[in-house]
Amino acid sequence: MDNVEIRKRRGSLHFIRFQTTDMGNFLSLAKQKGMAELVTTVCATGGGAFKFEQDFRDQVNMKLAKFDELDTLIKGILFADLHNRTECYYYENARDILKSEKQQFNFSQPFPFILVNVGSGVSILAVYGPDNYKRISGTSLGGGTFLGLCCLLTGCTSFEEAIQLATKGDNRKVDKLVKDIYGGDYNRFGLPGDLVASSFGQMHLNDKRVSVSREDLANATLVTITNNIGSIARMCALNEKIDRVVFVGNFLRVNPISMKLLAYAMEFWSNGTMKGLFLEHEGYFGALGCLLQFNGELAAALNDGVEHSIHTESDSASEAAQTSSTADEPPEKAPTSKHSTR
C-alpha cells in the first residue's frame, strides 16, 4: 500500500504472510538478521498472539502488544479503504462464474454493513460504526473445514493444492441437483435445474463414486462451504435490514474461485438485491488494525485522511505488525466496542 503517512513519515506498507508452522523459521531469521536490535515490540492479534508470545520473548527478546482480533479487523478495513480507493470491489455478472469480472465499488460511506470473516471458521458481524458493532452469527464450517475435507477426500497436503484441484473440478458430478429430482427446473419456486439440491448427494451411488475425480471432490467441497457461508450471510443481512455484505479473511487470499462462488451465492439467493463485496488486502486487516490501535492513530486518520508506514508480518492463524523501538510504550486502551466474541 503506497504513499501512506504515519508519524509524519511517508512510505509504503508491505504485507508478508507465512504459515504458523513456519513460526520457528521466522524467529530464527529475525534473530539472524538482528531484527530485535531494531524492534522491541510486535503488535499482534489472533490466537497466535498468545500461542507464540513466550517464543518471541525467549528467542528474540521481543514483546507482543496484543489486541482483540475483531476490533483490529474493523479498524484495519476502514483504514485500508481510506487510503486505497480501489480497495473494495464486487463481481459483475456474478451468476455466470466464467464471465464474472471484478468491478470497483465505492466504499467511502460504509456504514452499516455485514462483515463476514472467513478463516478456519466464520464470524459474522453487523458493523454500525468504527466502534459500534456486534457479532450476530457464525459457523464452524469455514476454510479449515474445506481444507480438512479435501485432505481426507483427495489426499492433498496444502490449501494451495486444494484450491488448484477445486479450480479444475465439476461439483455436478458429486452433488445431487434440482434436475436430478425434478427432471429439469422447479419453476414454481424459480429453482434452476443446475442448482444444488443436496451436497454430495450422488456419492451413495457406486457408479458415481467410481467415476468421480479428485478435482470434482475438491470443487464440490468448495461449493458446499461457500453456499453455506453465503446463505447464512444473506439471512443475517435480512435480519439486520442491511444490504451491504463484505467478505474478508485468509480463506479468500489468492482464491478468486471462492470469491466468485460467494458472489454467485449472494446474487442468487437475494434475487439480485445484494452483492458480495470483497477487499484487496484480505487477511491483513487485523495486523494493520492492531498497529493503528498501538499508535492511537486511527481516529486522526479517519478525521483528516492521514496515515503511516510499517513493515507488517501476517500468517493464517495470527497477525503481527512490527513497530519501531521508539514506539514500545504501553499501548493505549482501545475504545469500548459493542461486540461479543466467539
User: Distance (Å, rounded) from C-alpha 138 to C-alpha 223?
Assistant: 18
Q: What are phi and psi of 220, to 5 degrees?
A: -65, -40
Separation between Cα atoms, residue 176 and residue 200, nearest integer Å: 7
C-alpha to C-alpha distance for 128 and 185, rounded to whole angstroms: 40
Peptide bond into 112 cis (omega under 30): yes
According to DSSP, the β-strands at 311-315 and 14-18 are: parallel
Where do the DSSP E strands lie in 50-87? 63-67
In the beta sheet, which residues pair with residue 232? none
- Asked if 133 contacts 113 with a C-beta cutoff of 8 angstroms, the reply is no
| 214 grid coordinates | 479428485
Catalytic choice (5, 37, 53, 69)? 69
- The residue with cell 531494531 is 38
- 3-class secondary-structure state, position 262: helix
Residue 298 CA to residue 130 CA, distance in Å, equals: 10
**CA distances (Å), 330 to each of 63, 64, 155, 177, 339, in order?**
11, 11, 47, 57, 24
69 catalytic residue (yes or no)? yes
Enzyme catalytic residues: 69
